[in-house]
Amino acid sequence: MPRRLRFWMIISWKKSRRVLAFFFIVFASLIILYNERDVIVAFKPREAGAIYHVPTDEKLISLTFDISWGEVQVQPVMETLQKEGVLQATFFVSAPWAKDHTDIVKKMIQTGFELGTLGNRHMNYTRLDEATLLTEIKTGEDVLKSITGQSVSLFRPPNGDFDQKVLKTASSLGLTTVLWSIDAEDWKNPGRDVITSRVLKSAKPGAIVLLHASDSAKETPEALADIIRGLKRDGYRFKTVSELISGYKDAVHTVP
């Protein structure tokens, strides 16, 4: 065999080995990436999200109540919950209301109810700049802690108005943003039976129900008793929001 031909054959073989080695490395890397995809995703930065419900087959449900003004309706709401044996309820209250009703706030904690913050002023937080937004949410958190001596971990934006800026700000304060999957629309006072029907017909495992204990919701106390009894008949058990979302936070975050 001519020396030149043998030389080029050797060169070609070396090149082929390099090409084969390259493709082998690429192929092996792809296999490793595929096998470790769950680990890689776990370390990927997660956007802040809002919790609407929990994905579960267990018949668990959370009753939540927003309060920003008034003192007439909150008492019968609390009494109804106690009478029906449901202490696993969560109240979201605004800072001004809490400061004006420290005795009720303390009673909520003493009774065993859970507290979350509605922030400070009742307004749409997506319209605020970052500095003002931070102050509004932190004020709501600080006021509740000053009254109860306990930190809160749950935040609900007033009117359910939020965006990524709101979510990230709440998250930076260690707060979990909680919305709802069932809106009773009780503040419209459509009638006791209508409020009850809305909740019972929409009830699903892992649901979070939005109700109100402000004075504008005049029919809530009576409807509440019917709601609780109906849910019990259907086999539901009641949980605070923190109890409901425990272990499910990553699974139910929804990014707008």
Domain boundaries, the chain: 3-42, 50-254
pLDDT at 72: 94
| C-alpha span between 105 and 118 (Å, rounded) | 13
pLDDT at 233: 98
Measured CA to CA in angstroms, residue 39 lies from 44, 49, 138 at distances of 9, 21, 34
Structure tokens at 2: 């001519």
Looking up tokens 């700049």 gives: 129
Per-residue pLDDT of the chain (256 residues; tens, 9 = 90+): 555 545 444 445 455 556 455 545 545 555 544 454 443 333 334 566 899 999 999 999 999 999 999 999 999 999 999 999 999 999 999 999 999 999 999 999 999 999 999 999 999 999 999 999 999 999 999 999 999 999 999 999 999 999 999 999 999 999 999 999 999 999 999 999 999 999 999 999 999 999 999 999 999 999 999 999 999 999 999 999 999 999 765 545 554 4
pLDDT at 49: 85
pLDDT at 42: 36
| C-alpha span between 216 and 225 (Å, rounded) | 18
Give how far the C-alpha of residue 231 lies from the chain's centroid of Cα atoms, to the nearest Å: 22
Q: What is the CATH number of domain 50-254?
A: 3.20.20.370
| C-alpha span between 249 and 256 (Å, rounded) | 16
Q: Which of 53, 66, 186, 253 is catalytic?
A: 66
| C-alpha span between 160 and 119 (Å, rounded) | 12
Q: Which of 53, 101, 212, 253 is catalytic?
A: 212
66 noted as active-site residue: yes
